[in-house]
A and B are shown apart, each in its own frame.
Chain A
Amino acid sequence: TPIQNDLCEFYALL
């Protein structure tokens, strides 16, 4: 099943 990813996996936390 598709999983909902965390945005932090795509963009770096500053």
Chain B
Amino acid sequence: MFEAKISQGSVLKKLVEALKELVTEGNIDVSPSGMSLQAMDSSHVCLVSLVLRDDGFDHFRCDRNMPMGIHFANFSKILKCAGNDDAITLKAEDNADQLTLMFESSNQDRISDFDLKLMSIESEHLGIPDQDYSAEIKMPASEYQRIVRDLTSIGDTVLISATKEGIKFSTSGDVGTANVTLRHNTTSEKQEEHTIIDLKEPVALTFALRYLKNFSNATALAPQVKLSLTKDLPIVVEYQVGELGNIRFYLAPKIDD
């Protein structure tokens, strides 16, 4: 059987909110080492990869590996019934066709349980190699959210260029053009306010803004976001989820034909 308890249930709520617009359904794979998900959007342009480690949970037990086919809009409906301070326990029997979610209020005076119907999903897995990127940029997650929101109101695609001057986001559309440049900045006492640009070589890539904006639905999960760029490769937008794991979004670049 599978059983996992997380005392900070709001994290689970935020995770599902972060990916439900991007992917309709997918297999959450459970194993003794934790939970993971890899799912592509319907157009195969971007991919969400989620890793939650067993030791990040308050309690974790998984006797055998199994995929749990989840419809994320339905998962979200049930998680919306959990209070933000609730502890959440997930339970499933081996080869079950449902996932039980139990919500406990922080003073344990309210307990509720819901069953989510599981689906059989044939999923495609992509092998994503570990690699060095030409540029890795860490910035406040709120800053990333602001940039992609602002630029989406101006244009459809963004050119992201990383140089020793900083990282520049440029777009243009019917109303005109926009450029936002962030410089390496570690002056704040608060680490989450730092912008750190780790540049091995300059790189410039173009992406569809609506997907980059969609990734910012994960802003509530982490104070910082990391962007990884290499010429002619998908961008990786990564949020660390505390000690629990991470959520990564991959988006294919637009390449001149």
Q: Which residues of A contact B (CB under 8 A)?
A: 1-14
Total B residues in contact with A, Cβ cutoff 8 Å = 24
For residue A11, which residues in chain B have a CB less than 8 angstroms away from its CB? Answer: 126-129, 234, 250
- What are 7 residue pairs bridging A and B, where the CB atoms are less than 8 Å apart in the complex? A1-B257, A4-B254, A5-B255, A7-B47, A7-B250, A11-B250, A13-B124
**A7/B46 in contact, CB under 8 A:** yes
Chain B residue with the shortest CB-CB distance to A12: B127
**A14/B47 in contact, CB under 8 A:** no
**B126/A6 in contact, CB under 8 A:** no
Looking at chain A's contact residues, the main secondary structure is mixed
Contact of B157 among A2, A5, A6, A10 (CB under 8 A): A2
**A6/B206 in contact, CB under 8 A:** no
B193-209 interface bits toward A, Cβ cutoff 8 Å, 1 = contact, 0 = none: 00000000000001010
Contact of A9 among B157, B208, B252, B257 (CB under 8 A): B252
CB within 8 Å: A-B pair count: 55
- In angstroms, Cα B126 to Cα A12, docked, is 6
Known: A13-B125, A14-B127. A6 touches B44 (CB 8 A): yes
- CB of B166 within 8 Å of the partner chain: no
Q: List CB contacts (< 8 Å) of B198-231 with chain A.
A: 206, 208
**B257/A3 in contact, CB under 8 A:** yes
- CB of B1 within 8 Å of the partner chain: no
Chain A residue with the shortest CB-CB distance to B206: A2
* Least distance between A13 CB and chain B CB atoms (Å): 6
Known: A8-B44, A10-B234. A3 touches B255 (CB 8 A): yes
- In angstroms, Cα B257 to Cα A7, docked, is 16
Q: List CB contacts (< 8 Å) of B222-257 with chain A.
A: 233-234, 250, 252-257
Beyond A3-B255, A11-B129, A11-B250, list 17 extra A-B contacts (CB 8 Å).
A2-B157, A2-B256, A2-B257, A3-B256, A4-B254, A5-B45, A5-B254, A6-B44, A6-B252, A7-B46, A7-B250, A8-B126, A10-B233, A10-B252, A13-B125, A13-B127, A14-B124
**A7/B254 in contact, CB under 8 A:** no
- In angstroms, Cα B47 to Cα A9, docked, is 13
